[in-house]
Structure 1
Amino acid sequence: MTQNIDWKAEAAKRKDAYLEDLFDLLRIDSVRDDENATDEAPLGPGPKEALEAFLALGERDGFLTKNVDNWAGHIEYGDGDELMGILAHVDVVPTGTGWETDPFEPVIKDGRLYARGSSDDKGPGMAAYYALKMIKDLGLPVSKKVRFIIGTDEESEWKGIKHYLETEPEPDFGFSPDAAFPIINGEKGNATVFIETKGAVDGGSEELVLFEAGLRANMVPQEAVAVVKSKNPAALQAGLADFLDGLPVSGVAAVDGDQVTLEMTGKAAHGSKPASGVNAATYLARYLSDFDFSKDAKAFLEMTMLYLHDDPEGEKLGIAVTDAIMGELTSNPGVFSFKANEGGKITVNMRYPQGTTEEGLFETFRTKLSDYDVTLTKANGKEPHYVPANDPLVTTLLDVYHRQTGLEAHEMVIGGGTYGRLMERGVAFGAMFPDSIDTMHQANEFMAIDDLMKSMAIYAEAIYELIK
């Protein structure tokens, strides 16, 4: 146990400087932008700018830094045979709708910092960086090397960090400040299945011209829109109010000639916690599925209604499974698109525990949807990850957490995926506390300033305990 250092007081001394640096980082729109990607900005200009801004802080503060081809980078401190990694990310998910403030102009209200990335993951990442800086400022003796590693597309395919690990060594141990306290020493597997339908419009009194919903596979769709060409548009419009009565979604329908545009609004949430959100897409499909559409549109809507609607644990698909340590599988139908004469596509993202496999899930989809004329493909996923509770990394981090908070310290498993899983002995550690309000991937994302400062103090002591 480290003596004679008041970590909370040291964090408090750095609050103003921390917030100033964090505000600069939050002002950068670092959503991955493939349309504007270049050789110099492989994930788009925003992630590159945010990476460079963070590395510039490291240079300013006297650390060694390295930019790995604008895919990722690191800030290095100390020396020794063992390498500790602290893995954070500067990319953010798209903003979506429903914000009360500019998502890229940070605002503090009632002790909360509002901005996209305030909790996921710029706020916690900056707290961990300042914790490392604190150790350097205090001149504390260390026996290991630390690399604060900065990723640029954690919210999508992890291409940046994978490229980084092709040229740089995997840390021997470490953590990612990108989840919750007390600790996340287990992460479920991550599998994504794509369901594609054809788009022929022959037959049926209704024609599904367009159906769009969802921003990312790891977000619950908050908004959904459909355009329908109808022989009786008034009926399609009139039935919506009765359908919505008592449901947790809102919606409107507008008629223009023989076309009806329907818009539905639910609630966004992290894709690993679909039960926390309200999926506007599946509710819209449920409403439309009662009408007379052509075969392909009918398949798109019917599959959604029968197998994906209101089913966060995959019971209807037959993929539900629960593990004693990792808990239950979760299923999030996150992205929907259908265009007449082109076809439809549904993206389903699942977080699964030990005891099942990505291939097994895919085969269950194939069997369950065999009556439909669909094409199924899958993305490269991630296997479940678990570091035993008695590992010294886990026990050290839990000891520090309990010492600083007085709260119960215990292992936890999540459905979300963090960079912690990239290390064999890697975990996620904070920055959400048990009483924090989780707004990751939602409109009006925020993080309490007090939580960020408490995290900085915990990170500083934890890092020092692991590298002294």
Structure 2
Amino acid sequence: MYREQLEAYFQDKQDMLVDAVCRLVSIDSVEGEPAPGAPFGPGPAAALEEGLKLAQEWGLITQNHEGYVGTADLCDKADALHILGHLDVVAPGEGWTVTQPYQPRVVDGLIYGRGTDDDKGPVVASLLAMKAVKDLGVPLKSNCRLIMGTNEESGSGDIAWYFARHPFAPATFSPDSGYPVINTEKGGLKPTFTRSWPVQEALPRVKWLHGGFRINVLPGDAEAAVEGLTLHDVHPFARDITARTGITFTCTSQDGCTVIHAKGEGSHAAWPEGGNNAVTGLIALLCALPLADGPCKEALNQLNTLLPHGDYHGRALGIAQSEPIAGDLTVAFTLLEVTETGLTGRFDSRVPLCATKENCENVARAAFEQSGFTFEGEQEEAHHTPADSPFVQTLLKRYEEYTGQKGECLSTGGGTYVHEIPGGVAFGCTMPGFDTHLHGADERVKIADLMLSAKLFAHIILDLCAE
């Protein structure tokens, strides 16, 4: 009924979409120190201000909810649909080649920059869909509300704050994953483990290690300082570990130590097989070096046993498991800090529907505690919305209509805003088979995918909200 109108409307809207995406991507919106009106720092607050400004320019009703989220409404009627997107981003990391993270660039039909795919581009597609519905003047019986968050990458405290004060809508989707419909999100186990020891005088020893910068990012870089071994001593071991792991090492002399930089490939922690973990590669090298016996060496050897390089399914930890809907459990060792007196680390495990406290959390906890580590953290349950729900069937119907591809429900290891929302699903904005370099260098999005999403979202809004 509405497709011809929407196709005609969007014929000349591509430049508008690209310009809007670039406006948002130009803002560094990594989490920072909280301030009044900016609970997650100045960057997310600036991006939220720009997102609300854009929504106002496009004729939508906006509100800033104390800096936690911003909302854009089509009308003042009761909500029938919530679209949940976010304007915060992960840190840029290293290795950008096409452009700099906050200097968006269009190349061959792609927009490059941090947040183009996750999730500023999809937010713009959602806003443009709402603008289309408004401009077409279709009478509405209910409202669509876009909720623009500012803390999705660092705990989703923004959405928790919002829904503690506002009701859920009958239907909710988040364009923060891919197509067709993601109706299952794995649960999570993201503990912190620690171990302490007295300063060790015997050489050679590890003086410090820095690895990872965010719990949900598989680290592509890590660095350690070894005292008591020369560059010449380390090189043959580094060559052997590189041959076994693919991690490359660069060694320099600094302040009487040999500083070892490990270079792998970063990726989202939900899909650790897509990267090459620099932290576990560096641990493998340190365990191969002729270090003096001591508690630091012992702890690193135990970590190398519990979370060895290339074990992305928790086999060594004893928690590997799988089921048909959500698939395999995954484990990414993402954070590690070692000092002269101890270590603190974290891993990010995405767990399927069959994972329980008994067969996952308790097993991992026992393995670490038996090796002398403290272990703190509780398992989060998986999220599942039945594929036969009327809302999911509407999404699949429109997806098939606009793409010509088969619609189906999928699971993801990635977590989105809908994880705690009854009946919520992830929907868009990436078509199957395209690598957006999510959370990595040269993040990118297809302009065509965003335009398709804007049309698709507009039709779904009309399905749920039109008279």
Q: What is the match of residue 184 of structure 2?
A: 186
**Aligned-partner Cα distance in 2 for 1:358–1:135:** 46
Q: How has the CA–CA distance of structure 1 residues 141 and 293 changed in structure 2, closer, same or farther, with 3 Å as cutoff?
A: farther
1:201-248 deviations in whole A, cap 9, x for unaligned? 326532211111111111110001001111555312443123313532
Q: What is the match of residue 419 of structure 1?
A: 417
Q: What is the match of residue 171 of structure 1?
A: 169
Measured after TM superposition, the shift of residue 368 of structure 1 is 1.4
Q: What is the match of residue 315 of structure 1?
A: 315
Q: How has the CA–CA distance of structure 1 residues 214 and 4 changed in structure 2, closer, same or farther, with 3 Å as cutoff?
A: closer
Q: What is the match of residue 460 of structure 2?
A: 462
Q: What is the match of residue 152 of structure 2?
A: 154
1:378-437 deviations in whole A, cap 9, x for unaligned? 16x532111111101110000000001110111101010111223211100011111312
Q: What is the match of residue 24 of structure 1?
A: 23
TM-score, normalising length: structure 1: 0.95
**Aligned-partner Cα distance in 2 for 1:296–1:157:** 33
**1:4-83 to 2 correspondences below 5 Å:** 5-34=4-33, 37-83=34-80
Task: Find the residue that maps to 2:191 and give its secondary structure.
Answer: strand
**Aligned-partner Cα distance in 2 for 1:275–1:293:** 33
TM-score, normalising length: structure 2: 0.95
Task: Find the residue that maps to 1:398 and give its secondary structure.
Answer: helix
**Aligned-partner Cα distance in 2 for 1:6–1:85:** 23
Greater mean alpha carbon deviation, residues 90-99 or residues 20-29? 20-29
Aligned-residue Cα RMSD (Å) equals 1.8
Q: What is the match of residue 349 of structure 2?
A: 350
Q: What is the match of residue 89 of structure 2?
A: 92
Measured after TM superposition, the shift of residue 373 of structure 1 is 2.1
Measured after TM superposition, the shift of residue 300 of structure 1 is 3.4
Q: What is the match of residue 219 of structure 2?
A: 221
Greater mean alpha carbon deviation, residues 142-151 or residues 79-88? 79-88
**Aligned-partner Cα distance in 1 for 2:236–2:376:** 38
Q: How has the CA–CA distance of structure 1 residues 245 and 4 changed in structure 2, closer, same or farther, with 3 Å as cutoff?
A: closer
Contact 2:368 2:375 survives alignment (8 Å): no
Contact 2:211 2:221 survives alignment (8 Å): yes
Greater mean alpha carbon deviation, residues 214-223 or residues 15-24? 15-24
**Aligned-partner Cα distance in 1 for 2:357–2:89:** 26
Q: How has the CA–CA distance of structure 1 residues 121 and 257 changed in structure 2, closer, same or farther, with 3 Å as cutoff?
A: closer
**Aligned-partner Cα distance in 1 for 2:246–2:460:** 43
**Aligned-partner Cα distance in 2 for 1:90–1:177:** 12
**Aligned-partner Cα distance in 1 for 2:294–2:462:** 63
Q: How has the CA–CA distance of structure 1 residues 22 and 233 changed in structure 2, closer, same or farther, with 3 Å as cutoff?
A: closer
Task: Find the residue that maps to 1:325 and give its secondary structure.
Answer: coil
Contact 2:229 2:258 survives alignment (8 Å): no
**Aligned-partner Cα distance in 2 for 1:187–1:408:** 21
Q: Which amino acid aligns with 1:5?
A: E
Task: Find the residue that maps to 1:338 and give its secondary structure.
Answer: strand
Q: How has the CA–CA distance of structure 1 residues 459 and 293 changed in structure 2, closer, same or farther, with 3 Å as cutoff?
A: farther
Q: Which amino acid aligns with 2:196?
A: K
1:235-273 deviations in whole A, cap 9, x for unaligned? 124431233135322111123474110001111111100
Greater mean alpha carbon deviation, residues 79-88 or residues 405-414? 79-88
Match of residue 199, structure 2, among 177, 194, 201: 201
**Aligned-partner Cα distance in 2 for 1:463–1:177:** 14
Contact 2:226 2:258 survives alignment (8 Å): yes
Q: How has the CA–CA distance of structure 1 residues 441 and 359 changed in structure 2, closer, same or farther, with 3 Å as cutoff?
A: farther
Measured after TM superposition, the shift of residue 80 of structure 1 is 4.4
Match of residue 288, structure 1, among 283, 286, 289: 286
Contact 1:222 1:268 survives alignment (8 Å): yes
**Aligned-partner Cα distance in 2 for 1:293–1:360:** 37
Measured after TM superposition, the shift of residue 81 of structure 1 is 4.5
Measured after TM superposition, the shift of residue 462 of structure 1 is 1.8
Greater mean alpha carbon deviation, residues 55-64 or residues 132-141? 55-64
1:425-457 deviations in whole A, cap 9, x for unaligned? 110001111131231101010111111111211
Measured after TM superposition, the shift of residue 6 of structure 1 is 4.3
Q: What is the match of residue 245 of structure 1?
A: 243
1:65-86 deviations in whole A, cap 9, x for unaligned? 1211101121112354453100
Tell me, which stretches of 5 or more residues in structure 1 are unaligned?
none
Contact 2:68 2:162 survives alignment (8 Å): yes
1:36-82 deviations in whole A, cap 9, x for unaligned? x2122211100001111111222223322121110112111235445
Q: How has the CA–CA distance of structure 1 residues 196 and 359 changed in structure 2, closer, same or farther, with 3 Å as cutoff?
A: farther
Q: How has the CA–CA distance of structure 1 residues 200 and 362 changed in structure 2, closer, same or farther, with 3 Å as cutoff?
A: farther
**Aligned-partner Cα distance in 1 for 2:155–2:292:** 35
1:91-118 deviations in whole A, cap 9, x for unaligned? 0000000012211010011211100000
**Aligned-partner Cα distance in 2 for 1:428–1:136:** 24
Contact 1:83 1:172 survives alignment (8 Å): yes
Task: Find the residue that maps to 1:42 and give its secondary structure.
Answer: coil
